[in-house]
């Protein structure tokens, strides 16, 4: 998602418009697989911890607020984050990059790490991608390995909305042309 869209349409504002965001102020956020975008910065939280396995992304984060980052495998969060440690856990643009079972395990872990909510954003269905569209040499990490439906996320306790979205018109796959017009699922799990 282009940076101008993160600023214009942060996920909490999208959920708020649909009556799904019950919070006035957030103090702590765990941004799982934060990449270089650290999209949680648009929440206005007092403190953010970003975790990503790809160090070049972490080095490229631009944010003046209070945050820390850890280079770590998000599938092993149980080793370093205590349960109920963060009010909000963001898992934006990550579950489609994982095999389905790994993504389900990550969602379960994130539900334990939050004290209030888990927020996710993912394309509806499978969108082919095997290139690092950001240009940081992380093709393997940027490959899409699963597709998601609203009913799957709702069965996990998320309240979801579906919205139309036009991706940047850039090369996303080595062999396939990818339609830039997709739909995104935005969801929130309230504890």
| Secondary structure string (H, E, C) spanning 128-172 | CCCCCCCCCCCHHHHCCCCCECHHHHHHCCCEEEEEEEECCCCCC
Alpha-carbon span 12 to 26, nearest angstrom: 11
Beta bridge partners of 184: 123, 163
Percentage of the chain beyond pLDDT 70 is 98
Q: Which domain holds residue 91?
A: 3-190
Mean pLDDT computed over every residue of the chain: 94
* pLDDT tens figures, 27-73: 999 999 999 889 999 999 999 999 999 999 999 998 998 999 999 99
The CATH number covering residue 26 comes to 3.40.50.150
Question: Residue 3: its pLDDT value, please?
Answer: 62
| Secondary structure string (H, E, C) spanning 74-105 | HHHHHHCCCCCCEEEEEEECCHHHCCHHHHHH
CB atoms within 10 A of CB 87: 21
* pLDDT tens figures, 80-99: 999 999 999 999 999 999 99
Question: Residue 47: its pLDDT value, please?
Answer: 97
* pLDDT tens figures, 133-157: 888 887 788 999 999 999 999 999 9
Number of domains in the chain: 1
């Amino acid at each position: 998602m282009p940076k101008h869209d993160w600023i214009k349409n942060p996920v909490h504002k999208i959920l708020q418009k649909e009556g799904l965001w019950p919070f006035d102020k957030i103090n702590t956020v765990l941004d799982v697989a934060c990449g270089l975008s650290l999209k949680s910065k648009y929440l206005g939280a007092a403190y953010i911890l970003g975790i990503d396995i790809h160090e070049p992304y972490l080095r490229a984060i631009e944010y003046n607020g209070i945050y820390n980052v850890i280079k770590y495998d998000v599938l092993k969060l149980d080793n370093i984050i205590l349960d109920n440690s963060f009010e909000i856990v963001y898992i934006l643009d990550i579950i489609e990059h994982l095999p389905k079972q790994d993504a389900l395990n990550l969602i379960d872990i994130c539900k334990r790490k939050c004290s209030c909510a888990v927020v996710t954003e993912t394309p509806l269905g499978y969108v082919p991608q095997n290139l690092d569209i950001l240009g940081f040499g992380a093709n393997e990490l940027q490959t899409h390995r699963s597709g998601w439906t609203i009913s799957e996320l709702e069965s996990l306790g998320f309240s979801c909305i579906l919205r139309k979205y036009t991706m940047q018109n850039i090369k996303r796959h080595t062999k396939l042309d990818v339609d830039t017009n997709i739909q995104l699922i935005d969801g929130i799990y309230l504890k």
